[in-house]
Amino acid sequence: MNIRPTQNANFDLVRSGLNLNLAKLITAQEQVSSGKKLLRPSDNPVAAATVLALQRQLGDVSRYSQAIDTARPLLEQGMSALNEASTIMTEARGLAVQGLNGTLNSADRQALAQNLRLLKSRLLEVANTKLGDHYIFGGTETKNMPFSEQAVNGQPRVLYNGDGASRAVAVGPGVDLAVNIPGTEAFGRLESSGVSFVGSSGAANGTSADAGTGYGYLTIRHDATSGTPGSGVALAGSGASDTLIGDRALTIDSAAGTVRLGSGTAVTIPAAGSAGIADVSVTDENGAVVHLDFTNYDGTDSSSTLSGSGSASIDGTNFTALDLSNGDMKLTDSNGTVLHVDARGIVKATTDLYSFGGAVNAFDEIQGMIDDLSNTSGLDSATMNARLSSRLGEFDRNFDNLQIALGTLGSRSQRMDSGKSQLDTLSINLQGLVSDNQDVDLASVVLDMNKAQQTLQVAQATGAKLLQNTLLNYLG
Amino acid sequence: MPNVGLNIGLKALLTAQTALDNVGHNISNASTPGYSRQHVLISADPAITIRGLAIGNGVSAQQILRTVDSLVQRRLVQQQGSISQLNQRLTGMSQVESLFAEPGDNGLNNLMQGFYTSLSSLSSSPDDLVQRTGAVQAAQSLTGRLNELTSSLSSARKDNASQVAAQISQVNTLTTQISKLNQQIAAFEGGGAPANDLRDQRDEALKSLSQLVNISNSEGPDGYVTVLTNGALLVGKTKAYMLNAKVAFDGTVTIKAGSSTKPVDVTGGSIGGLMHLSQSFVPDLLSRLNALAHSLIGASNHAHSTGLPSSGPFQSITGSMSVVDQNSNGDLGDELLSKAGLPFDVQNGALYVNMTDRSNSTFTSTRIDIDPAATTVRDLLTSLNAIPHLNAGLDSNGRLQITANNGYGFDFSSRINPHPDTEGTLGGGAASLGSAGSEPFSLANGDTLTLGGPAGTFNITLDQTQFGDITKAKASEVAAAINSDPATATSGMRAVAQDGHLFLQSLTTGSATSFSVNGGTALGAFGWSAGTTATGQDNAVGATLSGVYTGSTNTSYTLVPSMDGEIGTTPGLTMDVLDATGLRVASLDVGSGYQPGTPLALPSGLSISFGVGSISATNNDRLSIDALADSDTAHVLVALGVNSLFSGTDAADISVNQSILTDPRNLAASGTGATSDNTALRALMNTRDAPSAALGGVSTGEYYGNIVGGLGFEIDSTQNASQVEQTLLDSLQSTRDQTSGVNMDEELVNMLRFQQTYTAASRYITAVNSTNDDLMRMI
């Protein structure tokens, strides 16, 4: 191969060599000053595609991170509210147990009732906690107050206006956590178990299913007493203030001078002309009372049957006549409550407490205790204590549900915390990978730059020497 | 003696002079680009016979030739063309690459992530106005960047196209020059001597031309060069043909040669590079960005349109896409939905519209079936208007407008109806008798029904004009026929069609209301027998639905009592749950032991509870519940731009819906209408990773990653190719140089040689002259 060199070829060679070295120097310089070896996708397309994919994954991480950060205050607020509610409910229970103490008098009980009222309103405030513009216990209906006090059948009840929906937030791939607890779950979870009666009327559950929530009062009202006592004895006031329901035998024993209703206590017949002879109250074994007028008592024995008829109501306004042979009497009110009562065992007119088990919320339960302690209908202490202690079981159910709700929020908060720390670790790893692909190793690129600089200098020096050699240097 | 000597001397002088001139010429032009060194062809003159002796006659210069390897020259020209094209492409592509600004904070990748992150922050408190504003702003940054990128790319395309025009005029200058040189060379060489310098010039011009366009050239016998580009003649024997370029409005460039109408396809040279950039590279990027934006809009709007803003159901809404009068008959209503000029496709499916009564928050759901190949715009409007309290129409721009009457609101969500038994067909308060089977009912013209209503006995006669095909009567047709007879209402009854079954019901509720079926020829078709009675009840069972449907496809569940009984009382009473195919999937125990009001689990996340009341299998009580995963499977809301998040159709005009920009509270985050529900928002977030069929089964993020990755790869491989071609060019250049380049030392040596020859020749002349002088002195 005959290579014929020319000066032009030399010049071109030196020139292109210098350009090449200068370009390398500039690239190294660019990398040092920006700290990146991947300034544009064409610098390293594979790395660029990887970096974009990594950025998308980082996007995921930041998404979940942000979700956790915005959800946490809600959970914390919820937990602190439920904690306070828990304290309030513990206090309330303490007061209720105190109320069962037989040595308290009416004034003491009123004081307890007043304290309970204060506790109930505090609990209501807690249940209506707001974070910013929103009520945290309303489910997803958070604009309006979830719990409000209203009159139902003339009684104060707390009703729930929110819904039971959860607001779930994605805190990880495929991991959705609810950030709220609907008010019903915390303060009044529905776990219906049937109706129970507390009282002495003798009413019991009917055979058909009942519908409703909360508690109420079954009023058995005495309407009329029928029957002739005999021996010239009449019904005082035509039986208006009697409480007898059903048939009962009335025995007038002239020898003993007593009158007896059913198998109750025998009452001594007052002497003629004494005060109160016109209104003698005779009580049977169940506590049902009949008032008799002995003014025209002729002193003879008598055995008769007195019949008390009555009617029943669950709202205190609409009364249905009692059919004492009906084992499944249906009582309704205007709120959709349907109560079936077995009327066959009803023996006297009184007010019983009925309660839909598992369907009374915490506020109403406290209200019930307030009712019992303030005893506005003046029932005897045995009945009141029976009612008060029946409230405790339902109260404990609500308290347990509150703890469960608190625990749920707590475990969600923990999951979010652990999720967050996992995300932080993942973020660091991903950023490390991005940096591997994108960032320059400063030490090695500074070396590269020095190398390029040296090479350039050498190329310049040798080029200068090379180009100067021609024959012209030696011709005269 | 003839004076051969002096002549020889003279010729030697002249030849040496010529050679020296040549050396001078070479040295002067050593750096002239495209110069090929010239050498003098010196040969001895033929001998003259004098006195029987052949005496040499000296030297003369025959020709001055240039040393050129035409094969290398041609390859050099081609190579120049390749490299110019690659370099031009590289310049253009690098510009485009810098427009994308990836990987970087302002790149589209980051902005897309930022948008979804802001939605994620919003999901905890969907009603928070500050977070909403943040999300709307993030959306706007994303759409703004898409707009910007698209318009920058379009400008780049136009710039490249206009550069073509500028370079075409350069081409024309060069071809004119070549043609002129052709003439000059032909004229010069007609005199016999090669036109070396002119040929060098012509070669240089060809090289410059090939930098602009890909050419093939050949030299004819007369010394002229014909130049063609891709079959089109640029320089012919006698003249040059001008190229002209026309840039269309959309950026398409057409190049034509002379008066020919056939467009010239320029594939090489820098014009070839510019054509590639402006006709395929940038338009390809633009169309892919548009596909990305189109898919983003479609998927996002689909999730958003079935949601509700925090203010709850809508009072009035206007869509953003206009129906186009494709058949130009002035009537917009007769367009089929598939041919209405809508930018997004309507699919075969259904749309569910919910009407909420604001006074008591109850709502009813209506299903509208849509087949884009058969349903016209007018059909859709009619179906919408058939919904009570809803009015629909097209505004003056052909956009869908829907308004609800005062006191009512509408929405398109897939939420469940908490009180699904709107007609009281499952233990309702009214007396109810359902048909045993479902439609179609086999009836005949003139079939009768004799009914004993609460307010009187009456007779219904069915006429075939009330039916599409009376032998295959639909429940809705039968119900309409019965209700259209005034005697029905007067007697206190009505007919209802539900789930393909026909129900006869009393108008009033309560245990005192009852009716009977007395007779009639139509009884058999409905499975009723004469004498059947139905009685109402005071307490309606009032089935209550709760929970969230977690299934992925739309389905329905039907509840059918297994026997007659009282909820919560009758032992062994159960409610069968049938799926959409009629298969029993669950059996709910609602007999004694069931506490009325307790939710019982249905498949896929739903629960249902029943109140106190009685249900009847004998009277064919049933209730069908829709469980929806997607309440707009027809995608008609997206197509008409109703309740959309993004407006626009592609990357150039995508933007956030004006009503949401004005008031971020219009962002539909809620899926149920409740203030803090975030179901619709989560559906929107899930579109990020959902594979899109239009994008080839990848998500939008991946698709974008592929665009940028592909760009990077193409540039990188072009750079590599360019380097390879440059190396090739350099080696060709050096080969050419070896043959045709001037070696200064060589020339200087030649200079010395011929200088000596000149000196020697002049000495010789002096010597010969002195012999003549001697001869003269002799005389």
Whether B290 shows a pLDDT value over 70: the answer reads yes
pLDDT digits (tens, 9 = 90+) for B211-221: 999 888 888 88
pLDDT digits (tens, 9 = 90+) for A184-212: 999 989 898 889 999 888 899 998 999 99
Which residues on chain B are in Cβ contact (under 8 Å) with A55? 103, 109-110, 113
The pLDDT score that the predictor gives to residue A462 is 87
Pick from B81, B96, B76: which is nearest to B266 by CA?
B81
Whether A174 shows a pLDDT value over 50: the answer reads yes
Which residues on chain A are in Cβ contact (under 8 Å) with B677? 140, 165, 167
The pLDDT score that the predictor gives to residue A384 is 87
Are B540 and B427 within 8 A, CB to CB? yes
Instruction: Select the residue of B113, B114, B676 nearest A140 (Cβ to Cβ).
Output: B676
Ramachandran region, residue B688 (left: φ > 0; alpha: ψ -120 to 50; beta: rest): alpha
Instruction: Select the residue of B676, B715, B744 nearest A142 (Cβ to Cβ).
Output: B676
Q: State mean pLDDT over A93-99.
A: 91
The pLDDT score that the predictor gives to residue B149 is 94
Which residues on chain B are in Cβ contact (under 8 Å) with A69? 121
Paired tokens of A412: 């969600």
pLDDT digits (tens, 9 = 90+) for B193-209: 888 889 989 999 999 99
ipTM given for this complex: 0.84
Pick from B380, B128, B161: which is nearest to B274 by CA?
B161
* Look-up of token digits 């979804």: B116
Mutation test of the interface with chain B: which of A169, A180, A438, A472, choosing the one with the most B Cβ atoms within 10 A?
A: A169
Which residues on chain A are in Cβ contact (under 8 Å) with B94? 40, 42
Instruction: Select the residue of A42, A52, A210 nearest B612 (Cβ to Cβ).
Output: A210
Instruction: Select the residue of A3, A67, A140 nearest B738 (Cβ to Cβ).
Output: A3
CA distance B113 to chain A (A): 5
Where does residue B190 rank: exposed (0-12), middle (13-18), buried (19+ CB within 10 A)? exposed
pLDDT digits (tens, 9 = 90+) for B532-555: 999 999 889 999 999 889 998 999
Are B60 and B34 within 8 A, CB to CB? no
Whether B354 shows a pLDDT value over 80: the answer reads yes
- How far apart CA B209 and CA A219 sit, in angstroms, is 112
Cross-chain residue pair A167–B743, CB shorter than 8 Å: no
Sequence-distant (6+) residues with CB within 8 A of A450 are none
Phi, psi of B615 (to 5 degrees): -120, 155
Residue type, B222: D
The string of DSSP letters for A343-411 reads GGG--B--EEEEEEET---HHHHHHHHHHHHH-TT---HHHHHHHHHHHHHHHHHHHHHHHHHHHHHHH
The pLDDT score that the predictor gives to residue A40 is 84
Are B316 and B401 within 8 A, CB to CB? yes
Please report, for residues B97, B383, B767, B773, the alpha-carbon distance to residue B778 in angstroms, rounded to integers and kept in the order given: 95, 139, 17, 9
Which residues on chain A are in Cβ contact (under 8 Å) with B749? 471
Task: Say whether B413 sits in a helix, a strand or coil.
Answer: coil
Whether B1 shows a pLDDT value over 60: the answer reads no
Pick from A245, A240, A247: which is nearest to A202 by CA?
A245
CA distance A387 to chain B (A): 23
* Max intra-chain CA distance, chain A: 179
Residue of A nearest to B713 (CA): A45
The pLDDT score that the predictor gives to residue B659 is 92
Cis link prior to B372 (omega < 30° from 0)?
A: no
Sequence-distant (6+) residues with CB within 8 A of B187 are none
- How far apart CA B594 and CA A210 sit, in angstroms, is 10
Instruction: State CA A103 to chain mean position distance.
Output: 36
Pick from B514, B492, B352, B357: which is nearest to B422 by CA?
B357
The pLDDT score that the predictor gives to residue A111 is 93
pLDDT digits (tens, 9 = 90+) for B457-479: 999 998 888 888 888 889 988 99
Cross-chain residue pair B712–A67, CB shorter than 8 Å: no
Ramachandran region, residue A365 (left: φ > 0; alpha: ψ -120 to 50; beta: rest): alpha
Which residues on chain B are in Cβ contact (under 8 Å) with A45? 709, 712-713, 715-716
Comparing A457-461, B154-158, B247-251, B305-309, which segment has the lowest mean pLDDT?
B247-251
Whether B355 shows a pLDDT value over 90: the answer reads yes
Task: Using pLDDT thresholds of 50, 70 and 90, give the confidence band for residue B649.
Answer: very high
pLDDT digits (tens, 9 = 90+) for B561-599: 999 999 999 999 999 999 989 899 999 999 988 999 899
Beta-carbon pairs below 8 A across chains A and B: 231
CB atoms within 10 A of CB B448: 13
Paired tokens of A464: 């200068």
Percent residues over pLDDT 90 in chain B: 56
Which residues on chain B are in Cβ contact (under 8 Å) with A142? 127, 674-676
Cross-chain residue pair A140–B30, CB shorter than 8 Å: no
pLDDT digits (tens, 9 = 90+) for B730-764: 889 888 888 888 888 889 999 999 999 999 999 98
Q: State mean pLDDT over B373-400.
A: 91
Are A322 and A309 within 8 A, CB to CB? yes
- How far apart CA A39 and CA A438 sit, in angstroms, is 8
Q: State mean pLDDT over B321-335.
A: 83
- How far apart CA A470 and CA B747 sit, in angstroms, is 11
The pLDDT score that the predictor gives to residue B666 is 93
Strand boundaries in B281-394, DSSP class E: 316-322, 349-357, 362-370, 390-394
Q: State mean pLDDT over B28-53.
A: 88
The pLDDT score that the predictor gives to residue B3 is 67
The pLDDT score that the predictor gives to residue B590 is 93
- How far apart CA A100 and CA A102 sit, in angstroms, is 6
Cross-chain residue pair A208–B97, CB shorter than 8 Å: no
Task: Using pLDDT thresholds of 50, 70 and 90, give the confidence band for residue A476.
Answer: low
Handedness of CA A37, A41, A44, A48 (dihedral sign): positive
pLDDT digits (tens, 9 = 90+) for B399-426: 999 999 999 999 999 999 999 998 899 9
Phi, psi of A225 (to 5 degrees): -110, 135
The pLDDT score that the predictor gives to residue A175 is 87
- How far apart CA B208 and CA B269 sit, in angstroms, is 10
Whether A102 shows a pLDDT value over 80: the answer reads no
Strand boundaries in A105-146, DSSP class E: 130-131, 134-135
DSSP, res B580: T
Instruction: Select the residue of A133, A194, A211 nearest B612 (Cβ to Cβ).
Output: A211
* Max intra-chain CA distance, chain B: 175
The pLDDT score that the predictor gives to residue B566 is 92
Strand boundaries in A51-207, DSSP class E: 130-131, 134-135, 147-152, 155-160, 168-172, 175-178, 194-198, 204-205
Whether B68 shows a pLDDT value over 70: the answer reads yes
The pLDDT score that the predictor gives to residue A83 is 96
Q: B734: part of which helix (H) or strand (E)? A: helix B700-740
Pick from A147, A237, A148: which is nearest to A185 by CA?
A147
Are A68 and A422 within 8 A, CB to CB? no
Task: Using pLDDT thresholds of 50, 70 and 90, give the confidence band for residue A425.
Answer: very high
Which residues on chain A are in Cβ contact (under 8 Å) with B128? 132-133
The pLDDT score that the predictor gives to residue A1 is 47
The pLDDT score that the predictor gives to residue B2 is 53
The pLDDT score that the predictor gives to residue B768 is 86
Instruction: Select the residue of B124, B127, B538 nearest A179 (Cβ to Cβ).
Output: B124
The pLDDT score that the predictor gives to residue B430 is 92
The pLDDT score that the predictor gives to residue B289 is 95
Task: Using pLDDT thresholds of 50, 70 and 90, give the confidence band for residue B501.
Answer: very high
Which residues on chain A are in Cβ contact (under 8 Å) with B741? 4, 6-9
Instruction: Select the residue of A142, A192, A438 nearest B127 (Cβ to Cβ).
Output: A142
The pLDDT score that the predictor gives to residue B779 is 77
- How far apart CA B119 and CA B129 sit, in angstroms, is 13
The pLDDT score that the predictor gives to residue B431 is 93
Q: State mean pLDDT over B680-688.
A: 93
Instruction: Select the residue of B594, B685, B712 nearest A41 (Cβ to Cβ).
Output: B712
Task: Using pLDDT thresholds of 50, 70 and 90, give the confidence band for residue B311.
Answer: confident
DSSP, res B276: I
Which residues on chain A are in Cβ contact (under 8 Å) with B612? 208-211, 338
Whether B669 shows a pLDDT value over 90: the answer reads yes
Cross-chain residue pair A190–B598, CB shorter than 8 Å: yes
- How far apart CA B382 and CA B362 sit, in angstroms, is 24
